[in-house]
């Protein structure tokens, strides 16, 4: 089982799209194990996006991410990191395929609605940045036996 960090960016919150986006993940079968509305500080945005520091879009990205509240989520599931990235679609709203979150809800290349961790290492690092110990919960989900086939002794 993997847990990934998802951020519903300021444009998703301001446009009232958070419910629809969260529903997509719930419908897919990913489990919400952490979720909160928060305002990202300058420092947190800088740390989160430190790999992009030298990019021309960096200053605008930090300004955007700190401009208005976001919803951060910890999503758990078998293969959750890749599943969430595929559901998000390509980085640019103008290029993302229909059926994906970025493809269905936006056209902008910078205001692209959602962040998702891109590797297990990134997920571990990012979950720690956004959630304090105890804020990501372990809870048995009613219905898991119909979301996963566990008849063979492993998750299928």
Q: Rounded to the nearest 10 degrees, what angle do helices 18-28 and 80-88 cross at?
A: 140
Q: How far apart are CA 151 and CA 31, in angstroms?
A: 20
Question: Looking at 17-25, 74-82, 107-115, 143-151, which segment touches ligand IDP (CB under 6 A)?
Answer: 107-115
Residue number, 61 or 147, with CB nearest to ligand IDP? 61
Active site residue 142: no
Neighbours of 15 (CB within 10 A): 13
* Least gap, CB of 14 to ligand IDP (angstroms): 15
Residue 48 touching ligand IDP (CB under 6 A): no
Locate 64 and state its tokens. 């955007």
Would you give the distance in Å from CA 136 to the centre of its chain? 14
Of residues 104 and 148, the one with the C-beta less far from ligand IDP: 104
- Residues at the site binding ligand IDP, with contacts judged by CB under 6 A: 52, 57, 61, 91, 109-110, 112, 115, 118
């Amino acid at each position: 089982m993997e847990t990934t960090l998802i951020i519903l960016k300021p444009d998703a919150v301001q446009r009232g799209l958070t419910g629809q986006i969260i529903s997509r993940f719930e419908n897919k079968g990913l489990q919400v194990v952490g979720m909160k509305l928060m305002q990202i500080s300058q420092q947190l945005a800088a740390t989160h996006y430190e790999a992009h520091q030298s990019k021309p879009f960096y200053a605008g990205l930090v300004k955007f991410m700190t401009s208005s509240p976001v919803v951060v989520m910890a999503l758990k599931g078998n293969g959750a990191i890749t599943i969430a990235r595929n559901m998000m679609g390509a980085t640019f709203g103008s290029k993302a395929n229909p059926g994906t979150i970025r493809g269905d809800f936006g056209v902008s290349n910078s205001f692209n609605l959602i962040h998702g961790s891109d590797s297990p290492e990134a997920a571990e690092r990012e979950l720690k940045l956004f959630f304090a110990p105890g804020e990501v919960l372990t809870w048995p989900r009613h219905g898991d036996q119909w979301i996963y086939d566990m008849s063979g002794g492993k998750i299928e």
